[in-house]
Structure 1
Amino acid sequence: MKPETFDMAAEREDILQIRLDLRSIGFDYRRYIWIFVPVFIMIFGLVFGYFATRPKLYTATSMVALDARNVVSQENQALIPIGEDYSAESIQINTELVLLHQLSLAERVVSALKLDQLPKVKPAPQSAKESAKSQAPVETLSPQAQQARLRRNIAGSLYSGLKIVRHGSTHVVYISYSAPNPALAADVANAWGQQYIAQKIDITQAELRDAGSGMAKRLEELRGEVLAREQAVASYKIANNLMTTGSATLTEGEISALNRQITDTKLTLAEKQARLSTARTQIKGLGLTADDSSPVNSPVLNTLRVRRAQLTRQVADLQSIYGPRHPNVIAAQGQVEDIDRQIRSEGHRIVANLQAQVDIEQRRLGGTQANLNSSMGDLANANAASVDLGQLEADAEAAQGVFEHYLSLYKQALTANPAQNVKARILSEAKAPATPSSPDLGLGFGLALAAASIGGAGAVLLRRMFETGIIVPGDIGYKLGQPHLATLVSVPAAAKDKAQPLALPDYVLQNPSSAFAEGLRALRAAILHMAPDHGGVIAITSPLPSEGKSTTSVCLAKIMAMSGQSVIVVECDLRRPGLSRALNRRAENGLLEVLSGDLSLEDVVLTDDTGIDYLLAPRKNRDVTGVFEAAIMDRLLTYLRHKYDIVILDTPPVLAIDETQILAAKADQTVMLVRWSKTPLKAVRAALDKLKQGSIIGIALTQMDERLFSKITMSDYRA
């Protein structure tokens, strides 16, 4: 059997993706907390305010055991579909629950508590259709009818606060009623259970009263019918010889005795036949022994066997003395043969005797079998007659059952107390609650918290749906398939000196331990780790303009120069030279003059205070097509590679200028800068596709919010 393989790389990739997705979600919540908090507060206030402003209601609960009488007969149980919960108990409880919700029961509660006489208790509000009907002209009702209508209306309004719940699978139910008045809630909850029991007692009393009317006359009729049917059964038994002793008829008793006699005779016959067969076998083979259990056994045989044994020993002794032909030996052998003839004759006599015994048992068995056959014939006739007897007995038993049932009902009607037949009872009465049950501020707080959390999360996710940039540095690895080199934070405007054009590079020098400087050092370490001989030509590019290429190039050069490396930054964006703006320095001549051979490199290179050289590219009205494809560009890069430790090429955006692909192919390493949360992933993927033949080593994020950046763990960088 081939062992099951396990792709560790794929498993690690799935786990890493889940971890980064969760981290990205958490990061989104931190970024959009300004959206989450207002939405959370608004939804929480609306939901909780709704619960807090609802009117107070008090709930009282009583516990009642329902009537446990069976309402489904055993015969009807067979009609219930298999698999349906229509058991006798289930149907009974469901029936009682329906009775608890009857309008007649609610009217009894209204009458018992005299709610129709309380001015504060009003019927439930009518719908528009009912109001229109009530305005129609109707006939005048009597005071009794008006009171009954009012009672029904009040009874209908009670259902709005009523709640009846069954306790598990028991016969116990909880009757709860909610009302603005705690005393009224307790009174209605108790009265509902009490009137349910009173209604059951009234129904039972009516049933007993109906059962007792006219029952005496019917009992006399049933008694006469029972006597007549029993007399018919007795007469039929006598006429058909069906009299019984105990539980069986006389014929059945006789057959049973004959069967036992036949069985005993067969056993005796089998025993005698076995003895006869054995005796014959022994005589035929002269296998006569002195064993008392042998069928061929008698005192004569025993004597002859003993005598034969003595002669046999005597013959053996004589043969050993005189030899086999001696006259004494021959005489002794003759005596042995004579005894053998006597033994054989005695055995034949015994076999004849055994044969006679066998014949006697066979005749006896035949006679008994004949008597049994005669009795079986009588039994067959009796069985044929017993069919009709069974019908007569069934009729008599049915008449007796009906008579006993009516007699039992009649006794119940005379002596039974209706209250004793009702199994329902009140287990505990409701107490007037001290605290309101509604509104439930705890539940309202929980629901408000849940709704506010869901609403806030939905608002954040909705905002996140419209964002296409890179948020978490770990997304670079599993979404773009490129290494994450570093993250450069956005420096607050207060840290910049607006009077100084090189505020950001100066900020790096003045704050070497800042997050921005740490990001640059991380980028430098990643570049040098992958660079041959810890140096070479490095192309800095981005998918779109305004990603911070020129500023990053200058600041990266500062960090490298602080480490003692010789650095030159070459401005390669000939159409929109950003390095000149970043340095706030202008040059009349630069890269184009060097490539055209008009000036030497030393004539156009600019140097700052930290020793960094800059080869700018002043914008001029000339055709720059194919400039970087010329052989002189290769010679220039070769010269710079030998003269400086690090050569940084500030290239144009990849998607804007196609010349970036040429420069990336000539560079030893290419670093793509992506603006944090702004540059769309589609643009980054398109730029990577255009540079797939280049020397790109990874992606660095720029202009990240420093406050959020400080909350990202170092595991994000390792991911």
Structure 2
Amino acid sequence: MGWGHHNQRRPRYIRVGLVNTQSIDANEPSPERASDSRSLFPDPRTILAVFRRRIWWFLIPVLLAAAALTVYLLLVHPRYAAEASVVIEPRKTEFITSNPNTAPIADSPPGNDEMDTEVQILTSTAMAGRVAEALHLEQYAEYRSAVPLVYNHKVPSQNPLARKLLQHMLIQRVGLTFVITVSAKSKDPALAARIANEYVQQYIAAGLDRKNSAAETTGDFLQSRLDELRNGAVAADAAVQRYKVQHGLMSAEGATMAEQEVSSLNEEIAKARADYAEKLGRLNSARSLAGQGGGQDLQTALQSPTIADLRSKEAEASRRLADLTAHYGNLYPEVVRTQKELSDIRTQISRELQRIVASLSGEAQIAGSRLSSLTQSQAQAHGQLASNGVSQIELLELQRKAEGASAIYAAYLNRSKEMISRKGLNTTDARIGTLSGVPTTPVSPNIPLAVLVAILAGIGFGCAGVFVAEYLDSGVSTKSDVERRLRVRYAGAVPELKSTLDGMRNVQSPQDYLIDHPNSAFAEAFRSLRAILMLRGGSGARVIAITSAMPREGKSTTSICLARTFVSSNMRTVLVDCDVRRRSSSDALLAEGSQGLLQYFRGETSMQDSLVKDKDTDLVILGTTLAPDVGHDVMTQANIDRMLQDLRPLFDVILLDTAPVLALAETRDLAAAADSVLIVTRWRKSSRKAVDAAIELLLHAGARLRGLALSRVDVKKFASTGPEDTFSYHKKFAGYYVN
């Protein structure tokens, strides 16, 4: 059942995901560890296992929330709430008007700003003070403590009863309606109802008081002003009439003669300007066309029959000239004569155009002269009108004063009539909507809501505590941690011996207990580990390196127990203590002063002479209880190769108890030389980052990782991590073990 020579090429198995394997040549570079390919959705059983493992992180916040709820319910006194309401009515115009033709004004509903104003009035200290005074709240124990010995009664904002009362009031508008609710809280339900009802009644009374006071003040003011305004209006009208007579400003149809003359001249000037502009435009157009040689266009614009006749002759002469030139050439006598005729015709056209332009120029001059004359007449009329300007301005000022005095007097007179008609008819713009009865059920504390909040808070903080504990946990605790986070094969769990004894007393070391109790759960864990390490077949000795990332992770104890387990299966087994600096295995199994391994490396003894047999089993140990000389490196690659070459023919299994990977570089050489490597990690104690770093170093060194085993596992606590390991079901297998 041995393996081939150490230098032979062997297939290597690296775990991919969680289920697949991949064969890789040992001499090729180490591949990256495969990532997990499971579903993104967490397994409910895994979540339950996390909560079981972190149960106190969850229960403590829940218990604290329950305790806080209990204290709250015991300390808080029940309070009752009574609610009344007022309705804000549309603004009314209920008065008797002196003008029968005046249409009634429609009621206007209150706007949002008006509703907000009414809410502010209700929540003012002045309103609260009226209620406190009406109910004599200082007589109630609930409010008695708020009354100081001395305070200013004339300042509502300093009224302590009012401020205390407002602390127990809730006044708000109901949505976008015209209803305002007034809610009062008190330890006494009857007092709460009295406060709410008194509040709305005092609000109605205060509104009526404000209106009556305003009406009385306005009436007194109007009456004192009416006589004065009436005399002023009469005097202003008389002044206007006297001024018109004195300055001759009387006129028919509301306008003076000078004003009528100016109006007529304005009309004449407008017509003259239009005529002058038209004739000047025709003149400018004719001059432009004549200058450009556009006689035909000018004839079309002016509709001149003379120009039309000459143009006809010009066209006929041009046609004949073209025919003669084509038949006889330019020197023919008839051609010369026709050319002269055509030139005379064009000369006549030019003279006729000049005559037309001169005629248009004369018409434009006449129109301009007429416009100038009318303008001069207008200036004279304006001069006449200006002579009365100062008088007219003064008249207008007197008229404005008279109109203003009359308007003010009329407004005051109408307002006085309105106030007289409304006397005794004042009503508030609000009415009581509902009055409150005596409440029977307290509104605080709200026990169902408090319980719900406590439950949600407890569960929320409990889940947060579990999440934080799980997030901050840097150890390796479960099979999932090994396979998902470290992405290596899970080799099993080695229990803490004490956790498997169910309270029984034990004074033996783990390696001695293994011999005396071969049917115990502790021994079975090592047989399971041995089975995983022996899954691969082959020929030659099997070299297994057992290492860890950090010291004190149970590596040496695991090596000794595993070696004795191999021996119990009748396999020739040697345990080599390669950790020559700590020498834990040698100190546990060898007599003091043994240094077979050092003597072998120095060449002082042969391999056979360096081996020591275990006193309790057939296990063979190659180790040393003495440290090597300072500065002398014994774990060289040459010594390792020579040692393994000498051991392979002698043993079926060679176990190498190495130093921690992160501590010494020689461990990577030993791991690379071994047929398989087992990493031992202390349950819940070892840093996951340190283990991950160790695995990376081993893979880069070409080590053949067989898996990772958790050491010193508490079986009972490990069962709460979920159904991932055999120890999760240890209670069901109790009858199979004899501890």
Q: TM-score range by the shorter chain?
A: 0.5 to 0.7
Check if 1:547 corresponds to 2:554.
yes
Call closer, same or farther: CA 1:619–1:250 in 2, change over 3 Å.
farther
d(CA) in 1 for partners of 2:610, 2:428: 117
What is the deviation of 1:516?
Answer: 7.8
CA distance in 2, matches of 1:699, 1:29: 25
Per-residue Cα deviation, 1:586-636 (whole angstroms, up to 9, x for no partner)? 999894597352771697456999xxx73326886x665469458766522
Q: Do the aligned residues in 2 keep the contact of 1:311 with 1:336 (CA within 8 Å)?
A: no
Mapped pair 1:44 → 2:66: yes
Against the structure 1 CA distance between its residues 637 and 221, is the aligned structure 2 distance closer, same or farther, given a 3 Å change threshold?
same
Matches within 5 A, 1:89-488: 96-106=118-128, 108-109=130-131, 115-116=135-136, 121-122=140-141, 124-126=143-145, 130=148, 133=149, 158-167=165-174, 172-180=179-187, 182=189, 184-213=191-220, 215-232=222-239, 258=265, 261-276=268-283, 294-295=301-302, 297=304, 353-374=359-380, 395-396=401-402, 399-400=405-406, 402-416=408-422, 422-430=428-436, 433=439, 435-453=441-459, 456=462, 469-471=475-477, 486=491, 488=493
Contact residue 318 and residue 328 of structure 1 kept, 8 A: no
1:333-370 Cα distance to aligned partner (Å, 9 max, x none): 99999999998888777666544432221111112222
* Mapping of residues 17-56 of structure 1, within 5 Å: 30-34=52-56, 36-51=58-73, 54-56=76-78
Q: CA deviation at 1:513?
A: 13
Shift, 1:444, TM fit:
0.8
TM-score of the two chains, using structure 2 as the length reference: 0.63
Superposed, 1:662-701 pairs within 5 Å as 662=666, 664-668=668-672, 672-679=679-686, 700-701=709-710
Bigger RCO of structures 1 and 2 (CA < 8 A, at least 6 apart): 2
- 8 A Cα contact 1:544 1:654, kept in partner: no
Change in Cα spacing, 1:651 to 1:371, as seen in structure 2 (3 Å) is: same
Give the Cα separation in 1 of the matches to 2:255 and 2:355: 48
The two structures have a TM-score, normalised by structure 1, of 0.65
State the distance in 1 between where 2:54 and 2:340 align. 137
Structure 1 residue 205: deviation in Å? 0.6
Report the equivalent of 2:104.
none
Given that 1:489 and 1:704 are in contact with CA atoms closer than 8 Å, whether structure 2 keeps it comes out as: yes
Range moving further from structure 2, 427-436 or 498-507 = 498-507
Q: CA separation of 1:646/1:407 partners in 2, compared to 1, >3 Å: closer, same or farther?
A: farther
| Amino acid aligned to 1:615 | V
Conserved in 2, the CA contact under 8 Å of 1:190 and 1:429? Answer: yes
Partners of 1:279 and 1:296 within 8 A in 2: no
In structure 2, C-alpha distance between the alignment counterparts of 1:588 and 1:314, rounded to whole Å: 148
3-state secondary structure, aligned to 2:619: strand
Report Cα offsets for 1:184-230 as digits up to 9, x if no partner.
Answer: 54443243223212211111111101111253341121122234345
The yes-or-no answer on 1:702 pairing with 2:702 is no
Deviations 1:510-539 (A, max 9, x none): 8899888777767788xx89x999964514
Distance in 2 between the 1:339 and 1:598 partners? 149
Deviation of 1:107 (Å) = 5.5
In structure 1, the residue matched to 2:620 is 615
**1:675 offset after TM fit, Å?**
1.6
- Comparing 624-633 and 172-181, the one that deviates more: 624-633
The alpha-carbon distance between structure 1 residues 624 and 496, as it changes in their structure 2 partners (threshold 3 A), is farther
Amino acid at match of 2:608: S
Structure 1 residue 293: Cα displacement: 5.6
Q: What pairs up with 1:584-599 in 2 under 5 angstroms?
A: 591-592=596-597, 595=600, 596-597=604-605
Quick one: which amino acid aligns to residue 78 of structure 2?
K
- Is residue 577–residue 624 contact of structure 2 (8 Å, CA) maintained in 1? no
Q: For 1:232 and 1:532, how far apart are their aligned partners in 2? A: 141
Shift of the alpha carbon at 1:294? 4.2
Q: Which moved more, 1:322-331 or 1:42-51?
A: 322-331
Counterpart in 1 of 2:107? none
Q: How many angstroms does 1:459 deviate by?
A: 7.1
Q: Which amino acid aligns with 1:267?
A: A
Query: Per the alignment, do residues 274 and 552 of structure 1 end up closer, same or farther by CA in structure 2, a change over 3 Å counting?
Result: same
Is the alpha carbon distance of 1:235 and 1:89 closer, same or farther for their aligned partners in structure 2, counting shifts above 3 Å? Answer: farther
1:254-292 CA distance string (max 9 Å, x none)? 666655544433332233234445667888999877999
The RMSD of aligned alpha carbons is 6.5
Q: 2:728 aligns to what?
A: none
CA distance in 2, matches of 1:643, 1:606: 16
Instruction: Tell me how far 1:47 sits from its aligned partner.
Output: 1.6
Equivalence for 2:3? none
Where in structure 1 are there 5+ consecutive unaligned residues?
A: 1-11, 70-87, 135-144, 146-151
CA distance in 1 between counterparts of 2:721 and 2:695 reads: 26
Residues 524, 560 of structure 1: 8 Å contact kept: no
Equivalent residue, structure 1, for 2:98: none
- CA positional deviation for 1:453: 4.3
**Contact 1:43–1:455 (CA under 8 A) maintained in structure 2:** no
The 1:284/1:164 distance shift into structure 2, 3 A limit, reads closer
Question: Structure 2 residue aligned with 1:647, among 647, 654, 673?
Answer: 654
Amino acid at match of 1:370: Q
Distance 1:715 1:353, change over 3 A: farther
| 3-state SS, counterpart of residue 360 of structure 1 | helix
